[in-house]
Amino acid sequence: MTNTPFPLELQNISCAFGEGPRHVSALNNVSLAVNPGELVAIMGPSGSGKSTLLNVAGLLQRATSGHVLIDGASASDLNAKRAAETRRRHIGVIFQNYNLVPTLTVGENVGLPLELDGKTDRQAVAIALAEVGLEGFDDRFPEEISGGQAQRVAIARALIGPRKILLADEPTGALDTSTGDAVLRVLRQRIDSGAAGLLVTHEPRFAAWADRTIMLRDGEIQ
Ligand SMILES: Nc1ncnc2c1ncn2[C@@H]1O[C@H](COP(=O)(O)OP(=O)(O)OP(=O)(O)O)[C@@H](O)[C@H]1O
């Protein structure tokens, strides 16, 4: 019998920045496996390595040592182009800052991951925008919407297409309580339909949406 691989697995990840007196060990031998349909909250004090862990899992930051496995295949040594392709096809990342492209409309921003893969799909864009409560916003530009709406556009962009891994770094930061809950509900629905997720949050109230919580301290799982 073969074991089904985890959608996302981190094996013995260490990540250091800087040299000499500027050396910082952000992550120290962190291992974590996430099942399909599982949302794992990552909590811990400021500077404990939460964002670094998310960036390594999202192939945005290379670990100093250890492996990132996606569906059992090593993704740690991909070059930048292959890492970007893998991210676009399999991983949705919601950043603390929204990273919307100012010269593209809301609809174009949301559809960008599909567009880059040559798969324009206006219907998928409309569905993703409706999921975050922004139907009809397609033709607005980022400067014409509020901070909370921009955050929801970024979430729609992260959710579009069949992403098997969803990574969210304080996704509720700029949102009022009820909109924050609505966003978590959308994330939770995607997880319940089979995606694997990591959610960095400072708020126990939002961590309560996760199936389990890991605590980081000084780059180590407690
Ligand atoms: N690019 C970088 N260069 C140098 N040091 C970095 C870099 N990125 C992170 N660090 C350091 O690594 C450690 C972990 O940072 P990280 O951003 O992962 O923490 P965090 O838990 O997400 O913090 P916060 O809750 O404040 O966002 C910190 O000491 C930080 O200063």
pLDDT digits (tens, 9 = 90+) for 179-192: 778 778 888 998 99
Distance from the alpha carbon of residue 15 to the mean position of ligand 1, in angstroms: 10
Q: How does DSSP assign 176-192, residue by residue?
A: -HHHHHHHHHHHHHHHH
| CB of 17 closer than 6 angstroms to any ligand 1 atom | yes
Residues with Cβ within 8 Å of 63's Cβ and at least 6 positions away in sequence, in order, are: 13, 14, 15, 27, 56, 76
Tell me: pLDDT of 174 over 70.
no
Name the more confident of 198 and 186. Answer: 198
Average pLDDT for 160-171: 88
For ligand 1, the distance from its centroid to the CA atom of residue 209, given in whole angstroms, is 25
Mean of the pLDDT values across residues 70-89?
89
Hunting for tokens 């945005």 — which residue is that?
60
pLDDT at 70: 95
E strand segments, the chain: 8-17, 24-34, 39-43, 65-70, 73-74, 91-94, 165-169, 196-200, 212-217, 220-221
Q: Is the CB of 49 under 6 A from ligand 1?
A: yes
- The angle subtended at Cα 95 by Cα 156 and Cα 109, nearest 5°, is 40
Q: How far is the CA of 172 from the centre of ligand 1 (A)?
A: 19
Among the atoms of ligand 1, which is closest to the Cα of residue 27? Answer: 14
Q: Which tens digits make up the pLDDT trace of 93-141?
A: 887 677 789 999 999 999 988 887 777 788 889 988 998 889 999 999 9
- Structural domains in the chain, CATH included, are 35-62+79-221 (3.40.50.300)
Strand blocks (E) in 8-79: 8-17, 24-34, 39-43, 65-70, 73-74
Binding site membership of 105 for ligand 1 (Cβ less than 6 Å):
no
- Quick check: CB of 18 below 6 Å from ligand 1? yes
Locate 169 and state its tokens.
């770094």
Distance 24 CA to ligand 1 centre (A): 9
Indicate if ipTM > 0.95.
Answer: yes
Confidence band, pLDDT 50/70/90 cuts, at residue 2 = low
